[in-house]
């Protein structure tokens, strides 16, 4: 179609020049007639260009001037492209409006921030939660409007993998969870979620568990005391056969023993629940200090050997020049839990190795055993409260299902991680990986 128009235009120009040439030749003014006809053609072309220019300077949706031939085609083409561009723009605008509408209707505060940290847009909830008004605060630096030091540190830290919990800078009754992500070319999208109710419920749950545990502890201590006395009085020490007791007494003794076992288990459970509650309520770093790890591990080793009447072999491999900065009671409880588990879930000839060492990035407390091991499918859930691979086995060994949850909690408070490697039937290795900032070299003694 376009080629045809070009050909027609060329043919028309050829015909004009031929006609002018023939007439010029006939009247003896060939150059003049050729010159004037070319001039007329250029003039007409300029006229068409001028029409295009004045049309283009009008509003975008005005129709092009009526024109035929090649020029009509050019005008139609430009008009078509203009309409396409316009439709594309409208579609994009509709998409942007749709997105902004959906963000605007969110209960969470949403704020778009450009790469210089200026506010581009914010929704209605951002006004309620963060005190940001749109469009009044547009182009303002976000950190000039939210001045909480914690927030500024988080916003400027550029490390947004974890969210931030703060009180609302606008209304301190609200507790907010702030999360930020990058999009486009260095722009950021901030979400502020109201977690006040969530936190209140969590606190209620923690208080409830802590209160119930405390309330149960006293009656249970009394019950335990009486059961122990009863058990001793019926003569349950040593070899049953060698003591002269009636069948009735024997029945009672069995019943009392079972009751004592169960109430001791319950006591252990309550002790662990109270320990967990304490860990949740006491602020981190409250009692941090440099600790000698080797003597601590030696004491744990003795305790476990005594508890298992020497039926396990426990080896210690310690870098005694390395100290650990942390809370002594908490770390002792975590390490003891791991060594105790290694002994509990091993067999009679179990060999346990405890290692304490460091490298440039971390220091490690490792407990390795050659016990029953754990199937891979259980590993991700092992530190959940009350998660047990084999419930009856755990109850039989006096487990509460809270040991590893306590270990994980204590490690979190020391910015450390628990890593577990295990092969079913071959054994397990539990490694506490502390950041190197928690390691201290032993001072030289003279």
- The footprint of ligand ADP (CB under 6 A) covers 341-342, 345, 369, 371-374, 382, 388-390, 394, 399-405, 428
Q: Cβ of residue 378: shortest distance to ligand ADP, in angstroms?
A: 7
Tokens read off for 325: 């900065």
- Would you report the helix, strand and coil content of the chain in percent, each value rounded to 5? 55, 20, 25
* Residue with Cβ nearer ligand ADP (24 or 399): 399
CB 386 within 8 A of CB 402: yes
d(CA 196, CA 286): 26
* Residue with Cβ nearer ligand ADP (207 or 303): 303
Q: Provide the CB-side half-sphere exposure for 432 (13 A, CA).
A: 30
What's phi and psi for 315, nearest 5 deg? -105, 145
Residue whose entry in the numeric block shows the structure tokens 């005594």: 306
Q: What is the DSSP letter of 437?
A: G
* Residue with Cβ nearer ligand ADP (232 or 426): 426
Q: What is the DSSP letter of 316?
A: E
* Residue with Cβ nearer ligand ADP (382 or 439): 382
Q: What is the DSSP letter of 380?
A: G
CB 130 within 8 A of CB 108: no
* Residue with Cβ nearer ligand ADP (202 or 423): 423
Q: Cβ of residue 422: shortest distance to ligand ADP, in angstroms?
A: 7
Q: Cβ of residue 222: shortest distance to ligand ADP, in angstroms?
A: 25
Q: Cβ of residue 400: shortest distance to ligand ADP, in angstroms?
A: 5
Neighbours of 207 (CB within 10 A): 12
Dihedral of CA atoms 43, 44, 50, 52 in degrees, nearest 10, equals: -150
Residue 311: C-alpha distances to residues 15, 314, 347, 368 (Å): 116, 10, 9, 16
* Residue with Cβ nearer ligand ADP (121 or 364): 364
- By DSSP bridging, strand 175-183 and strand 362-369 are unpaired
Q: Cβ of residue 146: shortest distance to ligand ADP, in angstroms?
A: 41
- 187-194: strand order across its sheet: 119-122, 109-113, 187-194, 175-183, 164-167
* Residue with Cβ nearer ligand ADP (256 or 374): 374
* Residue with Cβ nearer ligand ADP (137 or 366): 366
User: Under 8 Å CB-to-CB from 333, ≥6 apart: which residues?
Assistant: 275, 406, 410
Q: Cβ of residue 268: shortest distance to ligand ADP, in angstroms?
A: 8
Local structure of 312: helix, strand or coil: coil
- By DSSP bridging, strand 313-318 and strand 288-292 are unpaired
Q: Cβ of residue 368: shortest distance to ligand ADP, in angstroms?
A: 9
Q: Cβ of residue 144: shortest distance to ligand ADP, in angstroms?
A: 49
Q: Cβ of residue 334: shortest distance to ligand ADP, in angstroms?
A: 11
* Residue with Cβ nearer ligand ADP (358 or 371): 371
Q: Cβ of residue 308: shortest distance to ligand ADP, in angstroms?
A: 13
Residue whose entry in the numeric block shows the structure tokens 């091991």: 373
* Residue with Cβ nearer ligand ADP (236 or 428): 428
d(CA 401, CA 345): 13
């Amino acid at each position: 179609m376009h080629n045809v128009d070009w050909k027609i235009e060329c043919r028309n120009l050829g015909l004009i020049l031929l006609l002018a040439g023939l007439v010029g030749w006939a009247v003896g003014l060939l150059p003049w007639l050729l010159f004037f006809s070319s001039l007329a053609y250029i003039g007409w072309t300029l006229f068409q260009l001028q029409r295009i220019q004045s049309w283009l300077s009008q509003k975008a949706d005005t129709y092009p001037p009526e024109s035929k031939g090649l020029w009509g085609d050019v005008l139609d083409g430009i008009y078509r492209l203009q309409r396409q561009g316009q439709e594309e723009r409208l579609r994009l605008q509709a998409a942007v409006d749709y997105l902004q509408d959906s963000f605007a209707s969110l209960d969470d505060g949403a704020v778009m921030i450009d790469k210089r940290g200026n506010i581009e847009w914010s929704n209605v909830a951002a006004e309620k939660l963060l005190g940001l008004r749109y469009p009044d605060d547009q182009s303002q630096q976000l950190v000039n409007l939210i001045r909480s030091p914690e927030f500024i540190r988080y916003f400027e830290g550029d490390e947004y993998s974890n969210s931030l919990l703060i009180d609302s800078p606008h209304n301190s009754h609200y507790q907010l969870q702030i999360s930020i992500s990058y999009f486009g070319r260095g722009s950021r999208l901030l979400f502020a979620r109201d977690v006040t109710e969530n936190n209140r419920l969590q606190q209620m749950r923690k208080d409830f568990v802590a209160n119930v545990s405390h309330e149960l502890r006293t009656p249970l201590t009394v019950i335990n005391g009486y059961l122990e006395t009863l058990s001793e009085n019926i003569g349950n020490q040593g070899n049953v056969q060698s003591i002269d007791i009636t069948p009735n007494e024997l029945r009672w003794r069995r019943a009392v023993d079972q009751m004592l076992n169960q109430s001791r288990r319950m006591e252990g459970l309550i002790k662990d629940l109270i320990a967990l509650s304490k860990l949740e309520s006491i602020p981190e770093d409250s009692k941090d200090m440099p600790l000698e790890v080797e003597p601590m591990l030696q004491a744990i080793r003795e305790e476990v050997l005594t508890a298992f009447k020497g039926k396990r072999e426990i080896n210690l491999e310690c870098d005694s020049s390395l100290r650990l900065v942390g809370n002594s009671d908490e770390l002792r409880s975590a390490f003891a839990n791991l060594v105790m588990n290694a002994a509990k879930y091993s067999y009679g000839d179990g060999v346990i190795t405890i290692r304490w060492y460091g490298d440039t990035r971390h220091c490690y407390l490792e407990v390795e055993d050659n016990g029953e091991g754990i199937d891979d499918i259980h590993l991700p859930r092992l530190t959940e409260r009350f998660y047990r691979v084999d419930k009856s086995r755990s109850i039989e060994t006096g487990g509460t299902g809270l040991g590893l949850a306590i270990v994980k909690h204590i490690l979190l408070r020391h910015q450390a991680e628990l890593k577990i490697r295990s092969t079913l039937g071959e054994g397990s290795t539990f490694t506490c990986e502390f950041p190197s900032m928690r390691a201290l070299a032993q001072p030289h003694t003279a």
